[in-house]
Homo-oligomer: A and B are copies of this chain.
Amino acid sequence: MKFSVTVTLKKDVLDPQGKVVQNTLLNLGMDNLKSIRQGKFFEIEIDEKDEEVAKKRINEMCQKLLANLIIEDYKINKL
């Protein structure tokens, strides 16, 4: 079973990377760009039949390692 996880900075947290990327895109002439925020993406394959169980495991991975819950939020999607 395959899942995708996206990890993004919480709303009010500074995103230095996004800021620099945004400026660069604007300088490259992408003037209708309104905002860009950068995050992390994971593609995870797990050996598990039951979707609920699988999701729970993925959730655990996010909590324990993939996301830094103090400054980041995450989302899990089945692929």
In the complex, the answer to whether A32 meets B46 with C-beta atoms within 8 Å is yes
List the B residue with the shortest CB-CB distance to A35: B45
In the complex, the answer to whether A65 meets B28 with C-beta atoms within 8 Å is yes
Main secondary structure, interface of A, reads: strand
Across the interface, which residues of B come within 8 angstroms of A45, CB to CB?
Answer: 33-36
State the CA gap A39–B66 with chains docked (Å).
12
In the complex, the answer to whether B36 meets A42 with C-beta atoms within 8 Å is yes
State the CA gap A4–B40 with chains docked (Å).
12
In the complex, the answer to whether B44 meets A8 with C-beta atoms within 8 Å is no
In the complex, the answer to whether B44 meets A35 with C-beta atoms within 8 Å is yes
State the CA gap A42–B38 with chains docked (Å).
5
Across the interface, which residues of B come within 8 angstroms of A38, CB to CB?
Answer: 40-42
